[in-house]
Structures are given as C-alpha cells and as structure tokens.
Structure 1
Amino acid sequence: MLQPALDVVVPFARGRTGRTVVGICGPPAAGKSTLSAALSDALNLHDGLSSVAVPMDGFHLSNTELERLGLSERKGAPETFDAAGFVHLLRRLRAGEDLVYAPAYSRVLHESIGGVIPISSDVRVIVVEGNYLLLEHGPWASVRGLIDLVLYLDAPDEVRQESLVRRQLAKGLDLPEARDWVYRSDERNAEVIAATRDRADLILSRPV
C-alpha cells in the first residue's frame, strides 16, 4: 500500500507551501502504523519533504485512569483517549512551533509515553495515524479540519481479526479471552470507524 499512498501524498505536499498534515485512518489492525512509518520514511528520501510519523495512540488514557472511569474493558474506544489533547497537539503542529514533542504508545508497557517524538519546525510533512481521525462528535470533530489529506486504510475483516487475536495473546490473554476481547471491543470500535469512511479523501484497500 506504500506506493499508492506515495503517488498521492508526494504531489499533494509538493503543491503546497509550508507544512502538510496527512492522516491515515482505518479500523484496528488494518496496518495503519506500518503504513504511516513506511510513508514517513519514504518521504524523507524525497528532497524537501522531511517527515515524522505521529500516532494518535499516544493519547490513550492511562490504565489507572481507565480503571477509575470504569472504562478498562473498553480500552481503544473513542472515550478512552484524551481527544482534546490530541486536537491541541495538531494545532501546535499546524502552527509550526519551533519544537513539539509528541507522545507514543508502548505495546510492551501498554501505556502512553510522553515526549518521545521530537518534531522540529522544519519538518514538512506530518503523518498522523489513528482510528478516529474522521469522527464527527465531541473533541474529535475538530480533527478533520486540522488534517490536509486523509487516507483511509481498509483490510479484510478476517485478516484484521486474526492480527487482533495475536495482539491480545501477546498481552497474556488465553485464546477464548483474546477472541472475546476482539469481538466484544475491537470490532465494536471497527463499526464506529467504518461509518466515517466516506469522509476520507482516498480509500486504500490492503490485500489479503
């Protein structure tokens, strides 16, 4: 999926002055993180298109806060993120501040880690990836207007679900627990995300 994304993003960014913010949206385990990292790396090989990838997952609420809110069993749903904080970061990135630090998410610690992605003012293309870039309610409604170009990455359900089950197994769940989480939580979120698909500028389909 890298080449189709490059074919769109490179001329789009070159046709603009200043910074371009590109979004990669899609359901859980569609391959957004892989594509965003590959796209950012490839853009860095094009003259004048320096790039950094920024994950929305860095704005997961902490596990302690999710427990306090009674949302531990819904981790990954829209209400389990600091959406307002994410919007604030996007505004700072668009403003071109001298140096902005973005958070990331650790799949080892299963927590967000602040201040690990430095973004200097000379970076031309910010590649933002996440599930909820196209939502139209709450603080999320401001996100679409802060992103210049949104690519929606789709993938076959069976491919995504298998990947999601493996992800939960790696966290220590047994197979029935992993499948329960995927079909009760992740796929519920996927339905919310799929409803936003038509707001994207381009839809990419990941092959089986």
Structure 2
Amino acid sequence: MDRRIDSSLSPYRTFSRDGWAALRRDTPMTLRPDDIARLEGINAHLSIGEVEEIYLPLSRLLSLYVAATQKLFRAMSYFLDQKDTEREGEGKMPYIIGIAGSVAVGKSTTARVLQALLARWPNTPKVDLVTTDGFLFPNAVLKREGLMDKKGFPESYDLPLLLRFLTDIKAGRRQVRAPLYSHFFYDVMPDQVVEVERPDILIVEGLNVLQTTRPPKDSKAIPFVSDFFDFSIYIDAEEEVLEDWYVSRFMRLRATAFRDPLSYFHRYSQLTDEGARERALSIWRTINLPNLKDNILPTRQRADLILRKAGDHEVAEVSLRRL
C-alpha cells in the first residue's frame, strides 16, 4: 500500500521568498539602516532586504491577527456580559507571540526586529520582549540537581514561575516581573528583574516555548507555555548549518566578550584556535544538538509560522499554518 501523504493535506501553506515578499503589499518601511544595524545578532548579518521581504509581510500579517483577536475578545466580553475588573475596563487583552528554535538560529534577532516593527505601527502599540532564559533555574540549583549539562533542556526551567508570569500578563495585571538572565555571567541575576507593564503585545523568545508533555492519566489540566500564545513562530535551519553558526558565534565571542576576566567563559579565551573550535564542537554535539533533536525540533509542527533559513542566515522559505 502506498502510504505517502498528499502535500495538499499539509496544515501549512508554503511560500518561496519572492512569494512571501509580495504579501508585503503597501506596508511601509519604518526602520532606517542604522536601526537595522543595531538589531543585528552576534553572528548574523541583517540586511534591509531581509526586513523588507520577510519581516514587513510578517508585520502586516500580525497586525491583521492582533486586530482580529481583539475583536474576538470584545465579542467574548459581550457574551459574558461582564467587565474584567483585572483589566480595569480597558477592553483589550495582551497579544502574546512566541518564538522558538535552536541555539544560534537567530531567535533573538527575529524577536528584536519584530519588536521594532510592531512598535512602529500607526497606533504605536506598547511592545515588550522577554526571553525564557530568565526562567532557568539559577546555576546553584542546576549544580545541586546535576543539571548543568542540561541547561536549556525543558527540565532546567522553573516552569511554574514561567506559567505564573504568562498568566499574570494575560490577566492584564500591572508590573509583572520576570527574572533577569545574564549571558555574560551565564546565570540568573539575583534580585534583578525585567518589569512588564501591561503591553499591547508581548514577544516571548526561547528554545522550548512550544514544548508539551504527556497528557496526565488523571485528566487534570496541565497548561503548556504555548497555551498562552496567540501566535507562534519557529525558526528552522539544517543541523549542519546550525553547527557552523554555533561554532562561528563561539569563536567570535572568544575574541570579544570571553576575554573579560569576569566572564563565565573567560577560560575559553585562553585556548588556541584549534582548541576553541574543538571545544565549541563538543558543546554543540553533546548538549545543544541532543536538545535540538529531542526537545526543540519535535515542536516545529506546532508553530503557526515556520521561517526556514539558508546557510547565509536569510529566510529562504516560509510556511504559514492554514486556518
């Protein structure tokens, strides 16, 4: 029996780069070249063309989705015939966008570009950005539990704290706080927080934000992080490309941030070029690649939008989930 599945049955519509770029329509370019330069990642060049052809159409799509979601929220409020006192009658709900993908794939750059574009809509919404790094358990806890080599895996996050944060955001509460993470010190910073004050849009970026668990046998509800998302994006690339990007980023950091004696990774700055490359490959193949295969990549098909990158870090193909 032929078990091949007809591509027309896919839950996604897939666009070439040119096909997706055409969907920009008349969306204006609101970022200047110096804005784009500031948004670039450590190891990823961000071109004006990439913003115009990939992110402006996405910004247009999101503007339509946000408007539709707010209309649905008002319809629900009308149906319930009651005011939400937690929102103090403002009549709107924070729209949450989740961004997932591997280490070194460019999640942070995508998040920053979207934040900049969305904040420049004509109605100038308040757009905040939070990474799930802050919800990692502190290193002291990870060491005690034997999880330092599993940092970034689902079990290394304080999931109840993250779920409480998202619950408070969706409830429209004021001054919701998220822990602050430092990549320089490679740890959650004690007594330091990021304060989120009732945003119109919140972007949540992290490795495992689309992760699920097995359904409980007792049928009790267990929320997932993605349950709070109104729209989700997965940034995709081939494994060998991701490995090359990770090693290149490691080597660049070794020549810059790692040279500071206070950096957690300062010891790597003392390695030879060959030794540093070998160390980067070892970290990738023993930690980041298993996390990608076992935990991150399996969540790709849960995303509303998949951005597939080529080796030059530019998006070559876009898949949008059908409604």
Aligned length: 207
Are 1:180 and 2:317 counterparts? no
Query: What are the Cα deviations for residues 80-131 of structure 1, in whole angstroms up to 9, with x where unaligned?
Result: 111221111111111111111222321111112364422112x200011111
In structure 2, C-alpha distance between the alignment counterparts of 1:111 and 1:51, rounded to whole Å: 26
Are 1:112 and 2:188 counterparts? yes
Is contact 2:133-2:181 (8 Å) kept? yes
- Give the counterpart of 1:44 among 119, 127, 131: 119
Q: Give 1:29's aligned amino acid.
A: A
| TM-score of the aligned structures, taking structure 1 as reference length | 0.90
Is contact 1:84-1:140 (8 Å) kept? no
CA gap 1:57/1:79 in 2 versus in 1, 3 angstroms: same
Is contact 1:24-1:127 (8 Å) kept? yes
Give the CA deviation at 1:4.
4.1
What's the secondary structure of 1:35's corresponding residue?
helix
Is contact 2:153-2:208 (8 Å) kept? no
Are 1:66 and 2:142 counterparts? yes
Is contact 2:135-2:178 (8 Å) kept? no
Give the CA deviation at 1:149.
0.7
Is contact 1:133-1:140 (8 Å) kept? no
CA RMSD of aligned residues (A): 2.1
Are 1:88 and 2:164 counterparts? yes
In structure 1, C-alpha distance between the alignment counterparts of 2:248 and 2:135, rounded to whole Å: 23
Give the CA deviation at 1:28.
1.5
Higher relative contact order (CA closer than 8 Å, sequence separation 6+): 1
Unaligned runs of 5+ in 2: 1-53, 71-91, 215-220, 255-264, 269-275, 312-323
Larger radius of gyration: 2
Unaligned runs of 5+ in 1: none
Aligned residue in 2 for 1:20: 95
- Give the counterpart of 2:106 among 31, 38, 45: 31
In structure 1, C-alpha distance between the alignment counterparts of 2:138 and 2:192, rounded to whole Å: 15
Q: Give 2:306's aligned amino acid.
A: I
Query: What are the Cα deviations for residues 31-70 of structure 1, in whole angstroms up to 9, with x where unaligned?
Result: 1111111111211111142200110111111111111111
Q: Which moved more, 1:5-14 or 1:178-187?
A: 5-14
Aligned residue in 1 for 2:202: 126
Give the CA deviation at 1:22.
0.7
Are 1:143 and 2:235 counterparts? no
Give the CA deviation at 1:158.
3.0
Q: Which moved more, 1:103-112 or 1:193-202?
A: 103-112
Give the CA deviation at 1:168.
4.5
Is contact 2:98-2:231 (8 Å) kept? yes
Give the CA deviation at 1:133.
1.5
Aligned residue in 2 for 1:8: 61
